[in-house]
Amino acid sequence: MLNLRDYSIRKKLTWICMLTSGAVLVLASAAFLAYEWTAFRGELLARLSTQAQIVGSNSAAALLFQDQPAAEQTLAALKAEPEIRAAAIYNREGRLFASYSRPGAQAESSLPRVAGLQADRESFEGGNLVLLRQIVQNGEGLGTVYIQSDLQGMGRRVRRYVVILLLILGASFLASFVIASRLQSLIAQPVLELAETAKIVSQGRDYSVRARPGNRDEVGLLIETFNQMLAQIEERDVELGKGREQLEQRVEQRTAELAATVKELEGFSYSVAHDLRAPLRHISGFSNMLAEQYGPSLDPNAQRYLERIQNGARQMGMLVDDLLNLARIGRQEMRCQATGLNSLLDEVLADLKPEADGRKVEWRIGRLPFVECDPSLMKQALYNLASNALKYTRPREKAVIEVDARVQEGVTVIVFRDNGVGFSMKYADKLFGVFQRLHRPEDFEGTGVGLATVQRIIHKHGGRVWAEGELDKGATFYFTLEPADQKSSHDKISTGAMATHDGTSS
């Protein structure tokens, strides 16, 4: 069968028309043929029945008087009916009394044997109509008439009908094809045009295109709705464009504002760096000169005050430097490369050597991974954490500081643990704030910027930093970093170095 579904609308419509008209014609012809067939049979039966009646009544006398030739003569009159192949008359006992057969037909052999009087009956057997009629006179059965007729006439007629029907069928098929081909454009054309428009819109993203308005039927309605939809989309498109433009403008404006603010801030920190440090240097310088040149002639109190002045200036100098450092880290561009934390930490420990002088300090350094980071920033963070640990373990006879790495839920966590004075978890959230200190300055010196700097560096690297501690039991600092790659650092030393050569972004 043809797969109608995938045909074009033109073809579909044509086929539907042709199939419909064809089916109607075939059905009508079949009904007509069936009617003709039954009508012809009835007609034939009625005609033969009449003939048998006539033969019967004409041969009643011949049967009574045993006049066989007369009966034969009566039967011979049947040759006027060409369909009758054979006929016979049987007497009361069922013996053949007279017979007739159409010239050229072998009647004798096909005549049935009959026993006694037969009841009236007719039947179609083997393409023949067989008819039996009793010969009755004055209520008494004298014998039986037998007529056998073929259906050649009927066949001829049916054949003629079929030929005519086929001719009609062909002609109307042709006619319906022509008509359907003409009429399908009424439906198909607007649909095809609509499809073409939709294609143009979809390919060109041009929502200003409109489909040609159609008739006032469903397709016309579809086109109208389609055009309305296009209008809505076009409208929304324009609005969207406007919104985007506004957004871009706003982003531009904000960026400019932000750039201005950053510039201002930079100018501010530059001024702080230059102008704030100068007077401090003068305080320090001249108080020092005062102490050197006139110290001996000053009383002890005055000397102490001078010392306080110098300490104050020194402290403020450190504060300014640390703050500037923090600000610089904030805006400094990251220059990331695969870096071995172990070698960075080694450098840090070398730098810190003077601070650990004369103290018992045990460093327990584990295997640290290679990470993608800015080495100078990361060194600063490690330095701050290590020097913190060193500072707060000072009261201990023996300081134990562990640095190790572990992988937790796929993230590398670096751990700094010391056995120092620790802190109360109550204040854990204050640890990383600028100028937040949990110890008195006379116990532990410092500016309160170190851990804020650590946090800023770790955040800049997309990591997280937190701390756990217990008063007098030590503190543990954690931070997370993205590993340089997933494999362990130890078999990656050479590739790590290569990644640096490849010039990861600068």
Partner 1 sequence: MMAQVAEILLVEDNVDDVELTLHALRQEKLANQIAVARDGEEALDYLFQRGAHAQPSPSPQLKLVLLDLKLPKVDGLEVLRQMKADERTRNIPVVILTSSKEERDVVQGYKLGVNSYIQKPVDFEQFRETVKQAGLYWLLINQPPPPPG
Instruction: For residue 184, state whether it binds partner 1 (rule: CB under 8 A).
Output: no
Per-residue string for binding with partner 1, 232-271, x by CB under 8 A? --------------------------------------x-
DSSP of 305-361:
HHHHHHHHHHHHHHHHHHHHHHHHHHHPPP--EEEEHHHHHHHHHHHHGGGGTTSEE
Per-residue string for binding with partner 1, 293-312, x by CB under 8 A? -----------------x--
Q: Which residues contact 75 (CB under 8 A, 6 or more apart)?
A: 55, 59, 87, 88, 89, 98, 99, 100
Instruction: For residue 473, state whether it binds partner 1 (rule: CB under 8 A).
Output: no
Which one, 321 or 355, has the nearer CB to partner 1? 321
User: Least Å distance between CB 280 and partner 1?
Assistant: 5
CB neighbour class for 303 (10 Å; exposed up to 12, middle 13-18, buried from 19)? middle
Name the strand (E) or helix (H) holding 249: helix 218-271
Name the strand (E) or helix (H) holding 141: strand 140-150
Instruction: For residue 335, state whether it binds partner 1 (rule: CB under 8 A).
Output: no
Tell which residue, 320, 341, 202, 224, has the closest CA to residue 270.
320
Instruction: For residue 281, state whether it binds partner 1 (rule: CB under 8 A).
Output: yes
Instruction: For residue 288, state whether it binds partner 1 (rule: CB under 8 A).
Output: yes
Instruction: For residue 282, state whether it binds partner 1 (rule: CB under 8 A).
Output: yes
Q: What are the angstrom distances between the C-alpha of 180 and each of 124, 187, 218, 398?
A: 46, 11, 19, 105
Instruction: For residue 286, state whether it binds partner 1 (rule: CB under 8 A).
Output: yes
Q: Residue 172 and residue 168: Cα distance in Å, rounded?
A: 6
List the one residue from 321, 355, 402, 485 that touches partner 1 (CB under 8 A). Answer: 321
List the one residue from 19, 273, 352, 434 that touches partner 1 (CB under 8 A). Answer: 273
Instruction: For residue 328, state whether it binds partner 1 (rule: CB under 8 A).
Output: yes
Instruction: For residue 428, state whether it binds partner 1 (rule: CB under 8 A).
Output: no
Kindly give the residue spans of alpha helices, DSSP state H, lying in 65-131: 68-76, 107-110
Segment contacting partner 1 (CB under 8 A): 191-199, 275-283, 425-433, 483-491?
A: 275-283
Collapsing DSSP states into helix, strand and coil, what is residue 30?
Answer: helix
List the one residue from 231, 247, 289, 407 that touches partner 1 (CB under 8 A). Answer: 289
Instruction: For residue 316, state whether it binds partner 1 (rule: CB under 8 A).
Output: yes
Instruction: For residue 447, state whether it binds partner 1 (rule: CB under 8 A).
Output: no
Q: Residue 362 and residue 398: Cα distance in Å, rounded?
A: 7
Segment contacting partner 1 (CB under 8 A): 55-63, 242-250, 294-302, 316-324?
A: 316-324
Which one, 281 or 304, has the nearer CB to partner 1? 281
List the one residue from 101, 118, 149, 284 that touches partner 1 (CB under 8 A). Answer: 284
How is residue 13 annotated by DSSP?
Answer: H
Residue 402 · residue 364 · CB < 8 Å: yes
Which residues would be at the binding site for partner 1 (CB under 8 A)?
Answer: 270, 273-275, 277-278, 280-282, 284-289, 310, 313-314, 316-318, 320-321, 328, 332
